[in-house]
Amino acid sequence: MMFAFLSGAATFDRFSSRLSLLSGALAGATLAALAATLGGGTLPYVAFCAATLFAGVYGIKIPTSLLKAFLLQRGHLTRLVAVAADDPAQRMALIKLLRQRDDIEIVFGGSPAAFDLLSNLTQADQLDEIVLAGHEAREANIAALAGLAVTLVRVTPQDRLEHRVFDPRWGKKRIFGPWSAPAAVITQPPLRGWRGTAKRLMDTFGAAVLLIFFAPIMLACAIAIKVESPGPVFFVQERAGYRNKSFQMFKFRSMRSDLTDATGSQLTQRCDPRVTRVGDFLRRSSADELPQLLNVLLGDMSLVGPRPHPKGARAGTVLYDDLIPNFYSRYRMKPGITGLAQINGLRGNTETEQHLIDRFGTDLQYAAEWTPFLDIAILVRTVVHLCKGTNAF
């Protein structure tokens, strides 16, 4: 069973394929035979061990099929799929092929040019996957759809793909046959499967520990804020999060309550008259960010990730959206309290357009290269940067 899972035989796309179990079954049988041989077993005993494990791996098919049927009946495994093809005949052929599966619901069938609609479906959690017709796999279409990397993007059929489709910018070259048709994965969410689970466990455990550790400091900050100026302890602002969906982000209030900027369009300046004395200390020490540990526990944020921005934020005088097309594709991962950009000198205000462009590129780099060890390294380096107080005001 372990080898079946490690070989990928039990992944979603291979649930229904008996042939896909073969690699795991053969690997398990081979190692069982080797173990029996090294243990001094006779030939019949070695053959028995190999055959038993081979049959046992194939026996996984029975419980997994029952489990899949149970989950499908309750809608837990249904994938929401968009079919993008300009050619009506090709589009209908793909739709007909996909409808043979009982785990797929087609929510869009149209041209790849309808990028805005596909983006909106993605942000509303109404789209899990895009299937693009192979003979229309032009680089412009792929580049646009690759920006929606919170969804899986496949190109089918594979035999018509051009080599440039597998440029490293679009993701790893992976060809396999879901739905009984060749296909290639062009881009996919960076934290699928165990990676997403590992990051969420790290976030939950880390945020809980840090909240306990910083509880006395947070209590002292809250008392100081209330004593110095009237108004709430927390400043709550709408920010862009995962899939560009809005959430309420918590911070300790560092400004006079009657002068706070809910839209985020006015950048904080050095010696900003809106900032209180307590607020100035909180901002310089970054203690105003501590309440975001609550956002991490709620699942809106991660300890490490791209920093969440207000949708009215500007680089110089230009809105983020206007400066960088598909800027919010950086939220392929949940936004974080700290990130790779922040430890590379890109912390603080985006006073120039180039500053934002550099930050955007670093955020995409983080999403592409994520590992648990990268998160740990970023957290350690964040502590060093906090001690220096770089760009904090």
Q: pLDDT digits over 213-227, tens only?
A: 999 999 999 999 988
Q: How far from 100 is each of 16, 91, 278, CA to CA, in Å?
A: 12, 15, 63
Pairwise CA distance, residues 32 & 26, whole Å: 10
3-class secondary-structure state, position 304: strand
| 4 vs 247, higher pLDDT | 247
CATH code of the domain covering residue 181: 3.40.50
Report the domain count for the chain: 3
Range picked from 104-118, 178-192, 262-276 for highest mean pLDDT: 104-118
Give the model's pLDDT for residue 182: 61
Is the domain of 32 the same as that of 59?
Answer: yes
Half-sphere exposure in the Cβ direction for 287 (13 Å, CA): 20
pLDDT of residue 262 exceeding 80 = no
* pLDDT at 167 (0 to 100): 40
Distance CA 54, CA 61 (A): 12
Q: Are residues 43 and 84 in the same domain?
A: no
Q: Of 64-68, 248-252, 341-345, 354-358, where does the model show the most confidence?
A: 248-252
Q: Is the pLDDT of residue 51 over 60?
A: yes
**Residue whose tokens read 């053969």:** 26
State residue 168's pLDDT score.
44
Examine residue 87 and state whether it is found in any structural domain, yes or no: yes
Poorest-pLDDT segment among 157-166, 245-254, 361-370: 157-166
How high is the pLDDT of residue 14?
43
Decide if 357 is inside a domain.
Answer: yes
Q: Are residues 232 and 133 in the same domain?
A: no
Round to whole Å and give the CA distance between 122 and 59: 37
- What is residue 173's predicted lDDT score, i.e. its pLDDT? 43
Q: To the nearest whole percent, how much of the chain has pLDDT over 70?
A: 75
Q: Alpha-carbon distance 87 to 260, whole Å?
A: 52
| Cα–Cα distance, 6 to 185 (Å, whole number) | 20
* In the predicted structure, residue 159 carries a pLDDT above the cut 80: no
Dist CA 36 CA 47 (whole Å): 9
The position carrying tokens 């055959």 is 51
Q: What is the pLDDT of residue 187?
A: 75
CA atoms within 13 A on the CB side of 358: 15
Amino acid at 370: W
Higher pLDDT, 318 or 278: 278
pLDDT band at 197 (very low <50, low <70, confident <90, very high): confident
Residue 99 and residue 165 in one domain = yes
DSSP state letters, 45-103: HHHHHHHHHHHHHHHTHHHHHHHHHHHHHTTSSPEEEEEE-SSHHHHHHHHHHHTT-TT
Q: Tell me which of 64 and 245 has the higher pLDDT.
A: 245
Q: Are residues 172 and 214 in the same domain?
A: no
Give yes or no: residues 128 and 18 share one domain: no
Residue that terminates a domain, selected from 142, 160, 187? 187
Query: How high does pLDDT run on average in the chain?
Result: 78
Residue 297 pLDDT class (50, 70, 90 cuts) = very high
Tell me what pLDDT residue 389 has.
59
pLDDT at 160: 45
pLDDT over threshold 80, residue 177: no
Mean pLDDT of the 302-323 span: 80
- Is residue 318 in a domain? yes
- The answer to whether residue 103 is domain-embedded is yes
Model pLDDT, residue 46: 92
- Is pLDDT at 67 greater than 80 in this prediction? no
Q: Given this model, what pLDDT does residue 13 score?
A: 46
* Range 84-103 average pLDDT: 81
Picking from 69, 104, 120, the residue at the C-terminal end of a domain is 69
Q: What angle do the packed helices 43-59 and 22-38 form, to 10 degrees?
A: 150
Tell me: do 240 and 154 sit in the same domain: no
Average pLDDT score over residue span 169-193: 59
For residue 168, the enclosing domain spans 78-187
Confidence of residue 371 (pLDDT cuts 50, 70, 90): confident
Task: Categorize the per-residue pLDDT at 175 as very low, low, confident or very high, splitting at 50, 70 and 90.
Answer: very low
State whether 130 and 242 are in the same domain.
Answer: no
The helix-helix angle for 139-146 and 115-123 (nearest 10°) equals: 20
The C-alpha atoms of residue 70 and residue 74 are separated, in whole angstroms, by: 7
**pLDDT tens digits along 333-356:** 899 999 988 888 777 666 677 878
The number of beta carbons lying within 10 Å of the beta carbon of residue 14 is 20
Asked whether residue 393 is assigned to any structural domain, the reply reads no
d(CA 316, CA 353): 6
Tokens for 143?
A: 């580049």
What is the b/e burial string over 297-311, where b = at least 16 CB atoms within 10 angstroms of the residue's CB? eeebbbbbbbbbbbb
Among 22, 8, 12, CA closest to 64: 12
- Among 144, 90, 92, smallest CA distance to 116 is for 144
Same domain, 131 and 107: yes
Reply yes or no on whether the pLDDT at 261 is more than 70.
no
Share of the chain above pLDDT 90, in %: 21
Choose one of 187, 216, 233: the last residue of a domain: 187
Instruction: Give a yes or no: residue 142 inside a domain.
Output: yes
Please indicate, yes or no, whether residues 285 and 177 belong to a single structural domain of this protein: no
Instruction: Say yes or no: 317 and 210 in one domain.
Output: yes
The answer, yes or no, to whether residue 369 has pLDDT greater than 70, is: yes
Could you tell me if 290 and 268 lie in one domain? yes
